[in-house]
Structure 1
Amino acid sequence: MRKLYLFSFFIISLGLLLSACSQNDDNSMTKVKVAEVTRSIFYAPQYVALEQGFFEEEGLDVELQTIAGGDKVMTSLLSDNSHIGLVGSETSIYVKARGAEDPVINFAQLTQTDGTFLIAREPMDDFTFEDLKDSDFLGQRKGGMPQMVGEYVLKQQGIDPENDLNLIQNIDFANIASSFSSGTGDYVQLFEPTASQFVKDGAGHIVASFGEESGKVPYTVFMAKQSYLDENEETAKKFTKAVYKAQQFVKNNSAEEIAEIVQPYFEDTDLELLESSVDRYKSQLSFAENPILDEEEWNNLKNIMDESGELPEDIPYDDLVNSQIAEEVISE
């Protein structure tokens, strides 16, 4: 009986010890709150980093929330409700131009092209941008990256968005696809996997890629306030290291495998559609292969913003980009 009691005491004590160790391990993890501007397969490397445990390997407990709208992500960052934002670099320029004393700094790039595709209602094997003239074009929110890149590409192709077509911009981002489905517009600008869903359903046909037409640009970037980076430099470096691991994983693995990994973030989307979406983005090099945002991409962004009349101030690369963190991660 005494032996049984001692054995039971040992088991209980061991359980308490293991529990305490587990709690210590949890307490040693650094909490990082990330706000993404939308839930999109375009951000596949981020979800790979989460699902494959790359952040945990770096001692980071990442809490991801989706906050629709670049302005809302910026508000979350500036009010310290989030530590890191995943959003277009143009938002950091807007904040800086408004005189922010604690500017938002771009430190790790995730996507390097536009992620939208031009969808037509009917198949158009011989499509040219001239076909857009006099059409109803269902675009994106004014001042946002999708719309600015869309207008930039149209102008590069000799199309004046204001005079050559009827540009529709009064529909919220979340309702653009359903509006096209219900009959609004002859053409629409959509992200994946919605674009592939339209093709599968016979509701639309992909006729052009804005990512292929516009060149490299810091389309979606991880960013944080300067004060956060100053106070949490090691955390930012670990975060960037996890992102880089995921970028290399996406580069070196099949669209099928990536789609299976990220499917928990897109439960209502067919796996086959996710795979085709990932494959489309991989084939046009939309996923950045490393987290460095270079100066040429920054200047291309400003050219696109300037062309659309949305560049509030010509802010130098060094003012809003910290490339040192990513460079150190890659060199290790």
Structure 2
Amino acid sequence: MGRPRLLLVLLLLLSLTLAAGAIIIKRFSQPQPETNIIRLMEGPHSVYHLPHYIALALGFFKEQGLEVVLENTANEQTLLPALAGERADVVLVGLEEAIYSRADGSMDDVMAFAALTRRDSHFLLARKAKDSFEWAGLKEKTVITGWPESIETVLLEGLLRQNNIAPYREVTLYTNIPASLRIGAFSAGSGDFIILAEPQASMVENAGVGRVVVSLGKEAGPLPATVYVARTDFIRKNPVALQRFTNAVYKAQLWLAHHSTREAARVVGPYLRDMNENLLLRAIERYRAQETWATNPVIDPERFNYLMDLLDQSREVARRIPPEQIINNQFAQKAVETVQYVPEKEKPRWFQRLKI
């Protein structure tokens, strides 16, 4: 092959290589289309997540053009690792879990973008309940509670301190009993008190083993207890999808405010098949009475700081996390400004909309 022809071939190969490279660069430099599928993960099904199931059951996510694929895990400790491993796009967790992951550096790119609940879910049950409850009655007693870092134990310790009772010194806290064994241990005679959420609290009452004497959520006051969390990279790439997701959550919160306990139970029943109707109604009513569910998805920075104070006092958190490092309220605030819900009974009928 002559030199001119060889040179021509080389120039042609070089041109093809440059063209292919330009196509690849262009493809990857262009913004990728946003997802319309959200992989949502939560722990075991819980009545505490009620508005979340309302949004799924009534098609509020589909109204927003989203397909939400819900996956449940056996325990909540696997949720943030699933987010880190990109096996989920959004997880529903206790805010304290997100704070712990930020504080210890195990996952420093998580952001909470919407609140589902505004009070904790746990209750203090007594084996031998008196007519009126006083915190001083816990002195020299024993309480079966969660792990030391669990939100129920953190709140219990904080409430004890607020009532001038020293945790672990003036009252014994059993924090090493696995969750699956706590009711059994209490039923067998261990502990004077036990901390439980619904429906377990009602189940223990129905069995005559104990009685609810105080709500930790009511005593501790409002705080952003359960939140939706995503990684900062996913939020940056999918702002429209997350806005639609938050809109649907807010619409479910509005729906709940306009409907009865029985209506809510009927809607979420398929998601809570392990609860009979009476147990479900009782649990929903107990949570509604103390305003457990958030009325909108905005995460209050002041109440975040209150939770941060409780975690600090418990010495379970490595360092304080400022709210701006872990809270992104842009989607929640826009949802509150734009989303409306009109109950069916208040919607005008077709002939009322006619202008005659």
Is the structural similarity TM-score above 0.5?
yes
Give yes or no for contact 2:224–2:303 (8 Å, CA) kept in 1: yes
2:316 aligned residue: 310
Counterpart residue identity of residue 317, structure 2: L
- The answer to whether structure 1 residue 153 and structure 2 residue 193 are counterparts is no
2-side partners of 1:184 and 1:102: how far apart? 39
- Please give the secondary structure, in 2, of the residue aligned with 1:82: coil
- Please give the secondary structure, in 2, of the residue aligned with 1:151: helix
Q: Tell me by how many angstroms 1:35 deviates.
A: 1.5
- Please give the secondary structure, in 2, of the residue aligned with 1:111: coil
Counterpart residue identity of residue 205, structure 1: R
Q: Tell me by how many angstroms 1:216 deviates.
A: 1.2
Larger radius of gyration, structure 1 or 2?
2
1:187 aligned residue: 193
2-side partners of 1:102 and 1:207: how far apart? 39
Counterpart residue identity of residue 221, structure 1: V
Determine what percentage of the aligned residue pairs are the same residue.
Answer: 34
Give yes or no for contact 2:223–2:307 (8 Å, CA) kept in 1: yes
Unaligned runs of at least 5 residues, structure 1 = 1-27
Q: Which of 248, 257, 268 in structure 2 is aligned with 1:251?
A: 257
1:120-145 per-residue CA deviation (whole Å, 9 max, x = no partner) reads 11232122111111112101112121
Give yes or no for contact 2:84–2:107 (8 Å, CA) kept in 1: no
Q: Tell me by how many angstroms 1:68 deviates.
A: 4.1
Q: Tell me by how many angstroms 1:261 deviates.
A: 1.5
2-side partners of 1:172 and 1:68: how far apart? 14
Give yes or no for contact 2:101–2:108 (8 Å, CA) kept in 1: no
- The answer to whether structure 1 residue 49 and structure 2 residue 67 are counterparts is no
TM-score by length of 2: 0.82
1:110 aligned residue: 116
TM-score by length of 1: 0.88
Unaligned runs of at least 5 residues, structure 2 = 1-33, 339-356
Q: 1:175 to 1:237 in 2, by over 3 A?
A: farther
Taking the TM superposition and a 5 Å limit, the aligned residue runs for 1:163-174 are: 163-174=169-180
1:263-319 per-residue CA deviation (whole Å, 9 max, x = no partner) reads 222222121111111111111111000000011111011011011112321211111
Segment of structure 1 superposing worse, 283-292 or 54-63: 54-63
- The answer to whether structure 1 residue 266 and structure 2 residue 272 are counterparts is yes
Q: 1:228 to 1:295 in 2, by over 3 A?
A: same
Segment of structure 1 superposing worse, 151-160 or 93-102: 93-102
2-side partners of 1:89 and 1:291: how far apart? 13
Q: Which of 291, 305, 309 in structure 1 is aligned with 2:297?
A: 291
Q: Tell me by how many angstroms 1:89 deviates.
A: 1.2
C-alpha RMSD over aligned residues? 1.7
Q: Tell me by how many angstroms 1:30 deviates.
A: 2.3
1:280 aligned residue: 286
